[in-house]
Amino acid sequence: MKFDTPATTNPIDQLKVIGKPTDRIDGPLKTTGTAPYAYERHDVVANQAYGYVVGAAIAKGKVNAIHVLDAKAAPGVIAVITHENAGKITKGNFNTAKLLGGPEIQHYHQAIALVVADSFEQARAAAQLIRVDYERSDGKYDLAAAKDGAEKPKAGGFGGDPDTSVGDFATAFAAAPVQLDATYTTPDQTHAMMEPHATIAAWDGDKLTVWTSNQMIAWGKGDLARTLGIPKENVRLISPYIGGGFGGKLFLRADVLLAALGARVAKRPVKVALQRPLIINNTTHRPATIQRIRIGTDKDGKITAIGHESWSGDLPDGGPETAVNQTRLLYAGANRMTATRLAVLDLPEGNAMRAPGEAPGLMALEIAIDEAAEKAGIDPIEFRIRNDTQVDPEKPSRPFSQRQLNECLRLGAEKFGWSKRSATPGKVRDGDWLIGIGVAAGLRNNLVTKSAARVRLDQRGIVTVETDMTDIGTGTYTIIAQTAAEMMGVGLDKVVVTLGDSSFPVSAGSGGQWGANNSTAGVYAACVKLREAVAQKLGFNSADATFADGQVQAGNRSAALADAAREKELVGEDGIEYGDLDKKYQQSTFAGHFVEVGVDAATAEIRVRRMLAVCAAGRILNPKSARSQVIGAMTMGVGAALMEELAIDKRLGFFVNHDLAGYEVPVHADIPHQEVIFLDETDPVSSPMKAKGVGELGICGVGAAVANAIYNATGVRVRDYPITLDKLLAKMPV
């Protein structure tokens, strides 16, 4: 199905099932422990052996010799795989570093060996017997030190052009009556998902099946085939349940490749789970940034010049953190510039983490907007509203398809009690606590991409959906079931959803906040095909037929839906393909984030007291699961603001706090009451579903809202995340 004109009225608009706050249909499986995750697939193949990964103990250099004889002789050991016996391996399209290192070492904890044994304990014990002779090389591990040597990255990809310019920024900024010029930093962060990267691999002749934890099935299948040098059709990747990903499982990782290599050498199925230190040092992470923001306004607070420069680092041939991109769209201003620079660092690979670009970029921009508002003497919400734009500021002929940012801010201010906020920082107390309220705007773009599905109807009237789409804890099973139920006119009890198998039609996959809108649009397209087949079988004109309550009706005649499949199953398969509407219109989602904090006047301990997000994100397919996505993202935003930081050993080039004891994330006690409000919005430009996404919008701006609340409470402006009490103490009001 080609989607190249805005959606008109269609069966989804009935909202009999879509739009309802429906419990997740996978919830009972997950709460009872019966949803099978990758490492737990004891049912899929017999005689599974265990693999244990050995990571490099240096960050850069080479392996001169790797001694494995003692490990091979250890009890229960079946095989030891290294670069010396792994065979020819190619680097995947989506990987920056090789998944199996040696003799060259590109980063700390790069996998250099896999020990396969009858039990996990035997594999782990034998791994300790491997001895490696390294030749260490000097590396670069400090972004600040490498900043001056950073270069302009390649154009293209998700980041687009690294540099943009409209008007004459330098002249306009120099002439502005009100000026802000400030630098902000965000640290390296890790995904910290609950489920580790884990895989079971089994060969049947030259055919390979992997049960793994992966967000993008088609990407993983293609890269695994490429890495192993085997035909794509010989690989099957299965991932029906994923215990968190946040972008960390978008791409093929070492557990998948090593399980496949181990199974090939051992001649039996092998299962591999990365240890938590390897998850943090071996897989991808969110790179640190240094961001300089300059804002010039006139005396009325209208932005006349806005410039945003960002520096980040990655391995050679890696990519930047696109922290400037939201600044290109969020506020008006005739004179603009953005610049992205990339330094070569020999740290583990930097890549996508929930809302890549916007999350760290808005942590800086939305503090800068508050600072500019204060310099102009204007309320921070009013300042944002004055600088609203209904068109792409870089391309004024290109309007936003929907843009209700001002409505998010106004409604949030009313619901949160913004009028009671003290404009003068450090003036509101509750006993020993200094109280502050902060706001930030959120923006995350709506990305459209092809997505397909297959829908079956059997003689019982059961509708089965098959697509390789994944559910990473987002509620995908449920919204796809809701879509099929709405389209085919049946209850949810008559719908079966099967996901995460590369033998199914290729979907959008889970990432970039594009999963919900695109995958349901693909199911919509397949259901249209099935509706046509049903109508033809029953002798109806498909254009006139209505599907409701398990019946198909046209004019004064009706028939049971199941009757169409009485003789044999009917199948509809199709996908959504997009025209150029995303080029004619800027498609984005928006949020107003509000946070109240308390800061202990004596110790500078910070406590978040309440939070509110008001979101405009197209049609909300399931308000219950959407709210769950947003409050989870808000929680991650609190972590980014107050505690999350990968500490780098800048001598040896590794993340020191590489476990969940040293890498702090929020716990229940850190998170108070959270409220989410969705504006009533449909966006017919986005897809037939008229939906967008909220999974990443919920984190965009939260960190800055926390930072701005801390400033309002204390009068201390911290521009270096995370905001810890040591950065406040010396300047606290007496």
DSSP-assigned letters across all residues of 268-306: S-EEEE--HHHHHHHS-BBPPEEEEEEEEE-TTS-EEEE
Average predicted confidence (pLDDT) for the chain: 97
pLDDT confidence band for 490 (50 / 70 / 90): very high
Q: Crossing angle of helices 515-538/476-488, nearest 10°?
A: 30
Centre a 10 Å sphere on the Cβ of residue 117 and count the other Cβ atoms it contains: 26
Give whole-number Cα distances, 653 to 107, 281, 726, in Å. 8, 10, 25
Q: What is the DSSP letter of 333?
A: -
CA–CA distance, 703 with 722 (Å, rounded to integer):
9
- The beta-strand segments (E) located in 173-253 are 178-186, 198-204, 207-212, 235-238
Please tell me the pTM assigned to this model.
Answer: 0.98
CA–CA distance, 536 with 542 (Å, rounded to integer):
7
With a cut of 80, say whether residue 664 has pLDDT above it.
Answer: yes
Q: Dihedral sign, CA of 614, 619, 623, 627? A: negative
Beta strand 104-105 with 178-186: parallel, antiparallel or unpaired?
unpaired
Q: Which of 260, 154, 164 is nearest to 212 (CA)?
A: 260
What are the pLDDT digits (tens) for 668-709? Answer: 999 999 999 999 999 999 999 999 999 999 999 999 999 999
The torsion of the CA quartet 101, 102, 104, 106, rounded to 10 degrees, works out to 20
Mean pLDDT of the region 20-27? 97
Centre a 10 Å sphere on the Cβ of residue 711 and count the other Cβ atoms it contains: 24
Angle formed at CA 390 by CA 385 and CA 395, multiple of 5 degrees: 125
Q: SS3 of 342, please? A: strand
CA–CA distance, 698 with 591 (Å, rounded to integer):
8
Q: SS3 of 522, please? A: helix
Q: Are 684 and 8 in contact (CB under 8 A)?
A: yes
CA–CA distance, 471 with 476 (Å, rounded to integer):
5
Q: Are 248 and 350 in contact (CB under 8 A)?
A: no
pLDDT at 165: 98
% of the chain at pLDDT higher than 90: 99
Structure tokens belonging to residue 14? 């009935």
Structure tokens belonging to residue 683? 């966006």
Mean pLDDT of the region 425-439? 98
Using the structure block, give the residue that is written with the tokens 């109240």: 596
CA–CA distance, 7 with 448 (Å, rounded to integer):
14
Angle formed at CA 251 by CA 245 and CA 253, multiple of 5 degrees: 90
Q: Are 254 and 99 in contact (CB under 8 A)?
A: yes
Q: Are 685 and 618 in contact (CB under 8 A)?
A: no
Please count the helices (runs of H) and the strands (runs of E) in the chain.
Answer: 16, 32
- The beta-strand segments (E) located in 68-162 are 77-82, 104-105, 111-117, 131-136
Angle formed at CA 655 by CA 151 and CA 139, multiple of 5 degrees: 45
What are the pLDDT digits (tens) for 573-594? Answer: 999 999 999 999 999 999 999 9
The DSSP result for 484-515, as a single string, is: HHHHHT--GGGEEEE-SBTTSPP---S-TT-H
pLDDT at 431: 97
Q: Are 606 and 687 in contact (CB under 8 A)?
A: no
Mean pLDDT of the region 418-428? 97
Angle formed at CA 113 by CA 109 and CA 116, multiple of 5 degrees: 130
| 162 cis-preceded (ω within 30 degrees of 0) | no
pLDDT confidence band for 224 (50 / 70 / 90): very high
Q: Are 400 and 390 in contact (CB under 8 A)?
A: yes
Sheet harboring 335-344: ordered strands across? 163-166, 335-344, 303-314, 289-297, 178-186
pLDDT at 155: 84
Mean pLDDT of the region 54-80? 98
Q: Which residues contact 677 (CB under 8 A, 6 or more apart)?
A: 411, 412, 415, 612, 613, 614, 615
pLDDT at 160: 83
What are the pLDDT digits (tens) for 594-614? Answer: 999 999 999 999 999 999 999
Please provide the distance, in angstroms rounded to a whole number, between the alpha carbons at the two ends of the chain.
66
Q: What is the largest CA-CA distance in the chain?
A: 83
Name residue 82's beta-bridge partners. 113
pLDDT confidence band for 81 (50 / 70 / 90): very high
The DSSP result for 636-698, as a single string, is: HHHHHHHT----EETTTTEES--STTTS----GGG--EEEEEE-----TTT-TT-B---TTGG
pLDDT confidence band for 446 (50 / 70 / 90): very high
Centre a 10 Å sphere on the Cβ of residue 416 and count the other Cβ atoms it contains: 22
% of the chain at pLDDT higher than 70: 100
What are the pLDDT digits (tens) for 89-111? Answer: 999 999 999 999 999 999 999 99
pLDDT at 655: 98
Q: Please, what are the domains in the chain? A: 2-35+448-581 (3.30.365.10), 400-446+587-734 (3.30.365.10)
CA–CA distance, 542 with 528 (Å, rounded to integer):
9
Beta strand 673-678 with 270-273: parallel, antiparallel or unpaired?
unpaired
Sheet harboring 495-498: ordered strands across? 2-3, 570-578, 451-457, 463-466, 495-498
Catalytic residue among 349, 366, 486, 696: 696
With a cut of 80, say whether residue 159 has pLDDT above it.
Answer: no
Beta strand 303-314 with 335-344: parallel, antiparallel or unpaired?
parallel
Q: Which residues contact 568 (CB under 8 A, 6 or more apart)?
A: none
CA–CA distance, 362 with 45 (Å, rounded to integer):
46
CA–CA distance, 410 with 401 (Å, rounded to integer):
20
pLDDT confidence band for 116 (50 / 70 / 90): very high
CA atoms within 13 A on the CB side of 613: 34
Q: Are 466 and 507 in contact (CB under 8 A)?
A: no
Residue 696 among the catalytic residues: yes
Mean pLDDT of the region 167-183? 98
Give whole-number Cα distances, 455 to 14, 240, 572, in Å. 20, 17, 5
Backbone angles phi, psi at 709, to 5 degrees: -65, -40
With a cut of 90, say whether residue 734 has pLDDT above it.
Answer: no
Name residue 51's beta-bridge partners. 116, 272
Structure tokens belonging to residue 349? 């690979």
Q: What is the DSSP letter of 42?
A: T
pLDDT confidence band for 15 (50 / 70 / 90): very high
pLDDT at 679: 98
Q: For residues 338-362, b (16+ Cβ closer than 10 Å) or e, as one string?
A: bbbbbbbbbbbbbbbbbbbbbbbbb
